[in-house]
Amino acid sequence: MGHNICHMTADEKCDRRKIMNAIIERAMDDGDGYNGPMHWHDEVPPLKNCDEAEKWIEAHDTGWYDDHAVRFYDYTSAEITPKIKELQNKHAAIILKIGEYEKQHSVKNLKAAFIGCPECGSKLAKDRLHSEFCPLCRTDLRSKTTLDTLAGYRQKQSDLWGKIKAEKEKQKSKAKVKWLIKYEYHS
Ligand SMILES: [Zn+2]
């Protein structure tokens, strides 16, 4: 129910009529039909990568079922060089570490039966908590040290992800031009 914003990619030389038919069909099956129109930006040279294409569309979107397609260089078929492999291994390791750290530092592991929410002051029965958040005000109940440590790990993860992308983007010859297509429909 609501306003659906979808993205898809397609080959540069795709059959636009087929793509539009697929979008119209999905909007009909899953929602109230397709409004359109779709703007295919042939005048815009391919953007550096998929993220840039997404940003470009966001910047040109008037926000009301205003659909756009723009080209970008896709590196998903980049070769996994030893350097990329090493970065991917580090990336996988930090994700595991985050998972373990979160498990170890869960509010469920606190000794007290009740946890005070630092934001709204509620006394919460630990056994009835289903997450790390206060059910009343959604404040994260974990300690500042835990949250800072997690933020540090997440920063490392995002730095590694950026490095992997940058390494792949060095392989200009492996890049394929694709369309990023953003469409919206109401359901
Ligand atoms: Zn609270």
Percentage of the residues of the chain whose pLDDT score is greater than 70: 99
Cα of 97 from ligand 1 centre, angstroms: 28
Is 97 found in the same domain as 28? no
Taking the C-alpha atoms of residue 130 and residue 6, their distance in angstroms, rounded to an integer, is 31
Is 12 found in the same domain as 46? yes
Per-residue burial over 11-36, b if 16 or more Cβ lie within 10 Å, else e, is eeeeeeeebbeebeebbeeebeebeb
| pLDDT tens-place string over residues 126-176 | 999 999 999 999 999 999 999 999 999 999 999 999 999 999 999 988 899
Top pLDDT among 177 and 66 is at: 177
Report which residue type is found at 69. Answer: A
Cα of 117 from ligand 1 centre, angstroms: 5
Is 42 found in the same domain as 13? yes
Structural domain boundaries enclosing 148: 79-105+143-170
Cα of 128 from ligand 1 centre, angstroms: 14
- Closest CA relative to residue 8, chosen from 185, 152, 131: 185
Cα of 123 from ligand 1 centre, angstroms: 9
Mean pLDDT of the chain: 94
Which of the 8 DSSP states describes residue 46?
P
Residue 65: pLDDT band (50, 70, 90) is confident
Cα of 56 from ligand 1 centre, angstroms: 38
